[in-house]
Structure 1
Amino acid sequence: MTEFTRFGDPQRFSIAVRWVRDSEPRERRPADHGWSMGDLRIDVAGRNITQSLQGNQPKAHVGWYLSPLLEWLADNWIPLLHEEDFSWSEKSSAPALVACRRALDRWIGESDETGRATYAAAQAWYRRHALRAAAEGGLFPDLFVRRFIDDIELSWSPAPPLFAPDSFTFIADPGTARLPVADVAGPLWEALTWAVGTAPAEEDADRAAVARLAAKVAALHDTAAAEMATAYVPADLLASVRAALAKIGAAAHRLLDDVRLANVPAVSTFSPAVAMFGGVTPNLSGEDVDTISCLLASRMDVAEAPALADLVRPRAAVPLGLPHQDGYDFAADLLEDLDEPGEAEYIDIRGVVRRLGIEVRETRLVTDTIRGVALAGEGFGPTILVNTSSIYNAAEQGRRFTLAHELCHVLFDRGRARRVAVASGPWVAPGIEKRANAFAAYLLMPGTLLRRLLPGQQRIERDDIVNAAATLRVSESALTEHIYNLDLIGEWDRERLRAAFRG
């Protein structure tokens, strides 16, 4: 038996493959892929996710026909590595495996038109991102792959495939990892090209199948970065952005320069424009496209203030853990770094962003679904846009929260390109938005001030909330939810206070 050919680093991501002689006569094997019997091993972050048991026999790899996997990989290459958004409304920050399976379970029984359409969309997303979709009867691991900003998210479980042999099971613990695009795309591409060059085709039909696969691989190799970006931003919207930037001038085209991996058809870093418009409604008006494009262009090549740069560097590429707790922790660290609140009664968030050299623009967009925009990092002057048409920004309390929310993006959400360009709204990754919300809540309502303003041992009453919220310059409802999240009140007291403000 031949040795495995391994591509990649098992401590990050690797795929190992080899062809295996099939003892069955060719006429008794599947017509389409019977030529492709082989073994497969996949490692993610040092964990072998193809490790399995059949009876008492452990194996580090699985053996099955590899052609369906190779065809699936070639057919879905661009969305697999460049599509981030789910095709259904997803409010959790769960990894793709959990979110997709939950969506399929939820919508499979719906009989109305919307339910059927949502289920069909979820199924289509599954087919693009679940390795097992290559062949539901194949012995492939339960692995999902999708884009996550400038990373690739991998999530897996030990769930056995359909029609698995009796007593067969995968034994790797469930997990998730986020890795640089090159760490995943490179090994997958090398495995594809290796397969095309070494395929053990036996008959004319087999050789024709290999030739079709080779043609797909060759076409992928020549795919432009701009075409790959349409998996992240809808093509119509991206065309509008290109037109808007063309009106601004030649220099603005730098905003569309995606970074393509050398010799691998994958974008490692999306351009600032693609990153920004990947998080907005696909129905964004032409006027708003122009406004946001002008913002991007106007802040190009503006230096970042040293005060802000000093805060960003130690926190570069902070991983996304528990969004709520991360947000609180990041805000507490920032307050300590800034020596806030000191003797002040409230956090002057406008003073904080001014001190850090962040430009604030209050602009009325046509859409009310964008709360704010954050722009900062390599090649851009730090900027926060507050959308005055958003219901969240109708009052100064809401605008203060938006400034704090966007400050979190400026400080903590710079990707591997060391920049951030994000429009906060329902299309941004939920985990990132939840973290920014928690950050904003703690920044504006830190424990230090809460201990000064609220009774320590006595029951917190409606008037306590009213007075403290007025001092902190936040809403009563925001303060009530925040002290509940900090375990300063229990569920019963939260409902009591909610009722007091409803009445």
Structure 2
Amino acid sequence: MIGPAEGLQFELALETGPTMDLAWGHCVLRFQAEAVWSGEDAAGRETALRWTWVDLLEFLARNWPWLVLEESYPIPVTPLFPGSLRREAEHRWESGDLPEETIDREDEAVYRFLCRHDLAMALTGLFVPSLILMRQGNQYLVSCPALGFNVLRPYREIIDTLTALGDRLAAAVADSPQPRAKLANALWQERSARLWAQVVPLRTGLQPAWLEQLAGDTAANDDWEIDPEQPDADTELLAAARMSTGHISIDNQRTLLQRLRAAPPTQSPALDALSARLSSDFSEIGRPFEQGYWLADWLRGALSLAPDEPAHPAELLKQWGVTVDPISLPQCALEAIAAWGPRHGPVILLNQAANQQTEQVKPANLYRERSTLAHEICHLLIDRERALPVAEVLGGGAPEYAEKRARAFAAEFLLPRKSAAAVIRSAATLTAAIGQLQQRFQVSRELTAWQVTNSSAFTALSPEEQALLSEIRLAGSAEYRH
């Protein structure tokens, strides 16, 4: 048995004798005690698959850098789990807005991504259900579309299981005269050196030409602060580059990295203590928006904030020792960049240029800033040990699972649905209620409309009132949609 029963587990029985040269044997792959790869006998009972498992060793060895380091999808879609990547890609392609050559290029990129992350791709000539693994911070996203599950598991657990499996298979073929076995074993023994060569490209998502441009500026290029003892550990600079790539110009990215590099590490004991309390109470189950609502309710309770009492994110962050500073990144949609790793921060850089680009009036800027800071509070409280261990870029390529949770948290923390429903039921008109909620809780009309829509009062509204809420939501963004 390789791997824990509650996670990824291989039940492996290798044969001895001549068939050992290619690691022939029997295997059942289970995930959380459910068989993913197995056969069955004539009576329908589960049996192990007989195969040459050198295939699996070769897959792990060739794809090790990507399995360990790659956190970004290859095209601009944001599925919650990698099992939905192709479906979301096809939805994007069916929009009719992309030229055929772009679709062909993206189709190949998706295929190559799955070839790196789907364990089923290892077994050439044997059909087994897909089991797709993708890193997300200190976790792995695990998808099995055939069995309908998408699960989060600890990063170290998955890596330890795959390492033990690779070591077992490599030991089995160490003396094999077969060329395939020799190559697979050699690739496995060289995996650490090959991983080192891929750390910066895979962790930043930057193309070589872009990396060369950053290399021209000494202040933006040193060693990305990578720990030589832990090349798979993220850094604030790597994470900021990865999540801003594709959303920002080279000049803005250089400015961003310089600012983060200059941010010193600071102590935040009150925040750390609160985060530890929360982690002991929190279970990462249910849909992300449900988790976000729960987290907001927990924090309001911990702060003794009544449902009808407004929250003040900036004051909280100041009390917790989190620095909030402005940064100007023109011509990009990034709202904020936050870092909270061992070398920099906790610090939140608010992109003032984002507000200037949208020509928002002062109250709207205030509402936007409050929402942004509430969003980052969620990450600071719960994601430093999970999906975002060192940094986050709001408006960039941050993991969608954590972003959905943080968006719901921000909305609920700033304007609890219970309070929205109470005002809706007591106000003379819906318009008056929206104005009252905005003024009391200092939030945008869009956020207010979404919280009313998601509240218990929505179904009691007339069709005309529901249509008005829809109009307000559409006039803004879909930021708070589940």
Q: TM class by shorter-chain length?
A: 0.7 to 0.9
Contact 1:386 1:393 in 2 (8 A): no
The code of the aligned residue for 1:195 comes to L
The code of the aligned residue for 1:477 comes to E
State the SS of the aligned residue for 1:455. Answer: helix
Shift in Å, 1:372: 0.9
2:393 to 413, 423, 428: 423
| Aligned residue in 2 for 1:42 | 29
Q: Is residue 2:297 matched to residue 1:309? A: no
Contact 2:23 2:52 in 1 (8 A): yes
Q: Is residue 2:40 matched to residue 1:53? A: yes
Structure 2: gaps of 5 or more residues: 476-482
2:458 to 484, 489, 494: 489
The code of the aligned residue for 1:484 comes to T
Q: Output one character per residue of 1:430-467: Cα deviation in whole Å (capped at 9) or x when no partner.
A: 121111111111111124643564334x7852232133
The code of the aligned residue for 1:222 comes to A
2:444 to 465, 470, 475: 475
State the SS of the aligned residue for 1:196. Answer: helix
Contact 1:34 1:65 in 2 (8 A): no
- Cα RMSD over matched residues? 3.6
| Aligned residue in 2 for 1:400 | 370
Partner Cα distance (1:254, 1:98) in 2: 32
Contact 1:45 1:177 in 2 (8 A): no
Q: Is residue 2:145 matched to residue 1:209? A: no
Contact 2:28 2:35 in 1 (8 A): yes
State the SS of the aligned residue for 2:265. Answer: coil
State the SS of the aligned residue for 1:255. Answer: coil
| Aligned residue in 2 for 1:63 | 50
The code of the aligned residue for 1:496 comes to L
Partner Cα distance (1:242, 1:414) in 2: 29
Q: Is residue 2:204 matched to residue 1:230? A: no
Shift in Å, 1:477: 2.3
Q: Output one character per residue of 1:97-153: Cα deviation in whole Å (capped at 9) or x when no partner.
A: 233355358759988333322222221212111122224531434211111112222
The code of the aligned residue for 1:429 comes to P
Q: Output one character per residue of 1:23-57: Cα deviation in whole Å (capped at 9) or x when no partner.
A: 9xx9xxxxxx9955322222333333224434423
Q: Output one character per residue of 1:137-189: Cα deviation in whole Å (capped at 9) or x when no partner.
A: 314342111111122222224x4xxxxxxxxxxxxx54333333332223323
Q: Is residue 2:117 matched to residue 1:129? A: yes
2:300 to 328, 335, 346: 335
Contact 2:338 2:347 in 1 (8 A): yes
Q: Is residue 2:344 matched to residue 1:375? A: no
| Aligned residue in 2 for 1:443 | 413
Structure 1: gaps of 5 or more residues: 1-5, 27-32, 160-172, 261-265
TM-score by structure 1 length?
0.79
1:288 to 235, 249, 252: 252
1:179 to 142, 148, 153: 153
| Aligned residue in 2 for 1:97 | 83
Partner Cα distance (1:343, 1:435) in 2: 22
State the SS of the aligned residue for 2:57. Answer: helix
Contact 2:289 2:408 in 1 (8 A): yes
Shift in Å, 1:290: 3.4
TM-score by structure 2 length?
0.82
Partner Cα distance (1:450, 1:229) in 2: 46
Q: Tell me which moved more, 286-295 or 325-334.
A: 286-295
Contact 2:214 2:220 in 1 (8 A): no
Which structure shows the bigger proportion of residues in helix conformation? 2
The code of the aligned residue for 2:329 comes to L
| Aligned residue in 2 for 1:138 | 126
State the SS of the aligned residue for 2:67. Answer: helix
Contact 1:107 1:116 in 2 (8 A): no
Cα 1:53–1:342 change in 2 (3 A) is: closer
Which structure shows the bigger proportion of residues in strand conformation? 1
Contact 2:136 2:387 in 1 (8 A): no
Contact 1:241 1:293 in 2 (8 A): no
Shift in Å, 1:483: 1.0
Partner Cα distance (1:44, 1:301) in 2: 39
Partner Cα distance (2:5, 2:473) in 1: 56
How many aligned residue pairs are there? 460
1:197 to 151, 154, 171: 171
| Aligned residue in 2 for 1:355 | 319
Shift in Å, 1:367: 4.6
Q: Is residue 2:172 matched to residue 1:188? A: no
* Identity among equivalent pairs (%): 20
Q: Output one character per residue of 1:302-352: Cα deviation in whole Å (capped at 9) or x when no partner.
A: 111x332221112349536411111111111111211225875x3333223
Contact 1:14 1:44 in 2 (8 A): yes
Contact 1:371 1:390 in 2 (8 A): yes
The code of the aligned residue for 2:271 comes to L
Q: Is residue 2:75 matched to residue 1:88? A: yes
Partner Cα distance (2:40, 2:473) in 1: 58
Partner Cα distance (1:128, 1:502) in 2: 39
